[in-house]
């Protein structure tokens, strides 16, 4: 099974092929998408097997993906609250956005 959650991109930024560095928010969203895909694959596998051992295997896989999905959603919720808190502080204010605002 492929491991989705690795620290390679964080610990070794030279592996990042994108021009902009990835933010933790982007990485979390990618992990959520990958987990959704893994969950769909697990459900599909469960629907298409008849062997009792494979049925048990897919039950564990579905439960694992569901727990990972719930965890990632909780992390996304906490991150949203964290971002909202820091957006409300005056230290986050961007000088460029203040200059570009039209004067009424």
Q: pLDDT tens-digit profile of 47-70? A: 999 999 999 999 999 999 999 999
Residue 100 banded pLDDT, cuts 50, 70, 90: very low
Residue 89 banded pLDDT, cuts 50, 70, 90: low
DSSP letter string, the chain: ------SHHHH-GGG--SSSPPPHHHHHHHHHHHHHHHHHHHHHHHHH---HHHHHHHHHHHHHHHHHHHHHHHHHHHHHHHHHHHHHSGGG--HHHHHHSPP-
């Amino acid at each position: 099974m492929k491991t989705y959650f690795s620290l390679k991109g964080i610990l070794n930024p030279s592996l990042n092929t994108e021009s902009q560095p990835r933010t933790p928010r982007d990485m979390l969203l990618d992990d959520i998408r990958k987990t959704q895909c893994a969950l769909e694959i697990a459900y599909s596998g469960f629907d298409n097997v008849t062997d009792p051992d494979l049925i048990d295997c897919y039950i564990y896989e579905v439960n694992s993906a569901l727990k990972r999905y719930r965890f990632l959603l909780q992390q996304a919720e906490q991150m949203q609250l964290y971002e909202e808190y820091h957006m409300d502080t005056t230290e986050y204010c961007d000088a460029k956005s203040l200059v570009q605002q039209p004067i009424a």
